[in-house]
A and B are shown apart, each in its own frame.
Chain A
Amino acid sequence: MASSNAATHSHAHDHAHAHDDHHAPTGFWTNYIFSTDHKVVGIQYGVTALFFMLFGFGLMMMMRWQIAHPGEALPVLGPLLEKLLGSNMAGKGIISPDLYNSFGAMHGTIMVFLAIVPLATGAFGNYLVPIQIGAIDMAFPKLNMASFQLYFWGGVVMFTSFFVPGGAAQAGWTSYPPLANAIPTDGQTYWLIGMVFLISSSLLGSANIIATIIQLRAPGMTWMRMPFFVWSQFVAAFLLLLAFPPLEAAGVMQLMDKVFGTSFFLPTGLAVGGDLANISGGGSPLLWQHLFWFLAHPEVYVLILPALGIISEIIACNTRKPLWGYKTLVYSALMLGFISFIVWAHHMYMTGMSTKIATFFQTTTMIISIPSVIILTCLLLSLWGGSIRFNTPMLFATAFLPMFAIGGLTGLPLGFNYSDIHLHDTYYVIGHFHYVVAPGTIFALFAGIYFWFPKVTGRHMNEFWGKVHFWGSLVFMNVIFMPMFSQGMGGMLRRMSDGGINYLLRPELLYMNKVILYGAIGLALAQIPFIINFFQSISGGKKVTSDNPWEATTLDWQTPTPPGHGNFDRPMEVFRGPYEYSVPGHQTDFTPQNEKPKA
């Protein structure tokens, strides 16, 4: 429907009403489960991803408790785990090393592939890209539905794997062979199958976003008039489209190693346990690492670009002035996208890398830090000269900037291989990427939820509880992640099921595990107001008084609230750039993109 209308876009809107009455789904199944409407798919993605984020957070809470109290039974949940997963996994309510490794592997997998990326691209991308460019739906609505269904079933496979004999995957979210092959659990196989579902889902979603942005822009919506959020989705979709297929192939190869006895990633002469492994041999464990990180590094930019997009929209709107250096932002995002494909092996400096290869990868890594610094600088300079409204979305958006800065800067000593000798695989790495993703991307996603909630539901979320949520999250995120830099500097390693008590480490480093646990409990408590606020505001929040409650300029605020099937009730035509706030001589301090210029 949408694609056939693309050519006669404005024409389609003339008939929008009659047209929609004809096509709008009516039944429960077509309306809520197998919907092809981009907004419903976006909400499906959003709700599912938020659920998985809470679940992944829960896994982390149990892990943090266990490593702060090694060898002690987990209160309340311990006996429950023992009942659910058996006494060899959680005997006497203590999380066994195998279960800890399961939780670790699944925390990473769930947070990256089932929570944050689906929320950033599946939910925000699906819901906002069409209405920001003035389209009535995505280019391929049915692909969009298929994308969500694949994602959902991929999630079900991952979740089920906790209950198969041997438990869920235990070889880290990176699933390095030969460990992934040596672990005697079917969970590892489930992980691979789940990944194939999730990757296929991402491919359909990203192809759709690219086609939509290229084909379905409203008249006048030239490339340089697109909101930066749309640009960020565009680049992120290209990264997913080009970087995921190698991992899908690698995943199928590892599946064959696991199930059919091939040896793509297994060398000759492996002796796991007492005996020589019964494999054909001749493969290379490093091949998997290359294929994995060829996806997983661009994936980092898939995590961060949509977040930067969301932040840009919110900062422009709440400073009431244009973004500083819009074009620079766009070019930097494109540059990030390109370079992110040639930095992957900086995750592998300790695999015996020669000077030539190491020099290439650390040079590209330093080069990619330049557009990152430029983007951050543009956003910081955008604040200058504004008239800043500190509502909840803006609080999250401003806090994002220093938090993301910490995350980005601490990447430098890891990007140079000489300092990586000391910091590789320590808690410094954990602190680094969690600053990027947790108080970074997740703050951006929270900001986006508070910002677009009135458009999606027609009601505001409560400001007071929003601020409680913000301050609680900001303080406790730092209590959790800041000590990790000290732990890492002191030489404490990640992925230790007992927190590292067996190794010779300074006691204060181990004590920090307790501090981090208290931070994690605080962070959990700080999410309660958000969860209640979110659900309560759907039906009980303050109603919006106009379709454009934040007085924003982009097309998403020109739709009815909430947008109906077909999105717009009048044809959209674009006359100007996305952030025309406080234009001198204009009567209001915002000029919507579709406002006709005075002749």
Chain B
Amino acid sequence: MMEFFYKILGLPEVASTHGHKVDEFIVYIHWLMIALFFGWLVYFVYTLYKFNARRTKKANYFGVRNHFSTYIELAVVGFETILLLFLAVPLWGEVVGKLPKESDSTVIQVVAQQFAWNARYGGPDGKFGAQDMEFVNNDNLFGIDPADTAGKDDVQVLNEIHVPVDKPVLCYVSSKDVIHSFRVREMRATQDAIPGMRIPLWFVPNKTGTFQIFCAQLCGGGHAQMAGGRLVVESQEDFKRWQASKSGATLNFE
């Protein structure tokens, strides 16, 4: 049943656990919109026909004298209240409030730049090397402390972000230059990447595959070409193999 409406609206494939909730919510609102619009439209067309001056020579000073429209408005208010209180607010709370534990998740630091995505993993030990503002420069935009040994096995990549399937992904999204927006359509995940801020974003991918990372905020002349980003969702084993192949590359940033 719902699949039918997803198709009608042209919603793209979903590959995360909460994605269908977003789609269902979009469908519910469109039911309200379509019911209201077609209700109005039928009334509107009938009225324009019936009260055309050619058919109705004399206007009626009083017009509509019942309170039917009040009930419709109350129904709209009721429907919106339900959507708001029982769906939108709690669901948003899950998106931004109930972050998964770092120990249970694939933790990735994402730093956007004109016009690509940098991502950094804690490596096999799962620990990030110490970071500080003072170390930030063009070769070290995550500000890694070269002296910290925890950072020796960290993994840093450009544009190709791998994650294991069925495990929460927790991204800390930031930017080094202007505002970008990290968006993976199939994950139903969007988060502005704002310089000076580090904002968490999480989702649980439940399908393997390679997905486009979109930049959803105008970021300069190369905005339309900022299309090289890919989110690769793969099995746990493949991910481990990939991580091992990249490990230790911390200081020769790709």
Contact = CB atoms under 8 A, between A and B. Distances in A.
Interface string A376-400: 1100111111111110000000100
B29 A413 contact: yes
Nearest to A181: B178
Given A101-B221, A179-B219, A352-B199, A385 B92 contact: no
Interface string B162-189: 0000000000000011110101010011
A498 B91 contact: no
Given A179-B179, A350-B191, A386-B56, A275 B51 contact: no
A599 interface: no
B56 A387 contact: yes
A475 interface: no
Contact of B64 (A286, A320, A324): A324
Interface in A497-530: 497-500, 502-504, 506
A413 B64 contact: no
B183 to A, nearest CB: 8
B33 interface: yes
Contact-residue bracket for chain B: 35 or more
A582 interface: yes
B192 A284 contact: no
Contacts of A373: 36, 73, 76
Interface string B22-58: 1101100110110011001101100110011100111
Contacts of A489: 9-11
A82 interface: no
Contact of A271 (B69, B80, B176): B176
A195 B40 CA distance: 40
Contacts of A597: none
A385 B51 contact: yes
A183 B220 contact: yes
Interface string B205-227: 00000001011111111111101
Given A352-B191, A389-B53, A171 B87 contact: no
B149 interface: no
B160 to A, nearest CB: 14
Interface in A246-287: 267-276, 284-286
Given A380-B44, A383-B51, A170 B59 contact: no
Contact of A268 (B25, B63, B133, B219): B133
Interface stretch (B102-110, B136-144, B232-240, B245-253): B136-144
A191 to B, nearest CB: 14
B138 A285 contact: no
B189 to A, nearest CB: 7
B138 A386 contact: no
Interface stretch (A337-345, A421-429, A535-543): A421-429
B128 to A, nearest CB: 18
A388 B183 CA distance: 50
A342 B21 CA distance: 28
Given A383-B51, A386-B59, A413-B26, A486 B138 contact: no
A155 to B, nearest CB: 24
Contacts of A320: 53, 59
Nearest to B34: A409
Contacts of B2: none
Interface string A101-113: 1000000000000
25 contacts: A101-B221, A179-B218, A182-B178, A319-B59, A350-B190, A351-B194, A352-B199, A362-B92, A366-B81, A377-B69, A380-B47, A384-B51, A384-B64, A388-B51, A390-B53, A402-B44, A416-B83, A418-B25, A421-B189, A422-B22, A426-B216, A490-B10, A493-B216, A496-B224, A504-B227
In the A-B complex, list the 5 residue pairs whose CB atoms are closest, starting with the nearest: A267-B196, A352-B199, A385-B60, A502-B227, A320-B59
Interface of B: 9-12, 21-23, 25-26, 29-30, 32-33, 36-37, 40-41, 43-44, 47-48, 51-53, 56-64, 69, 72-73, 76-77, 80-81, 83-84, 87-89, 91-93, 95-97, 113-114, 133, 136-138, 141, 176-179, 181, 183, 185, 188-192, 194-197, 199-200, 212, 214-225, 227
Given A354-B96, A387-B51, 14 more contacts: A101-B220, A179-B220, A276-B138, A322-B63, A353-B96, A362-B88, A381-B64, A385-B51, A387-B53, A418-B21, A419-B22, A422-B23, A497-B224, A502-B227
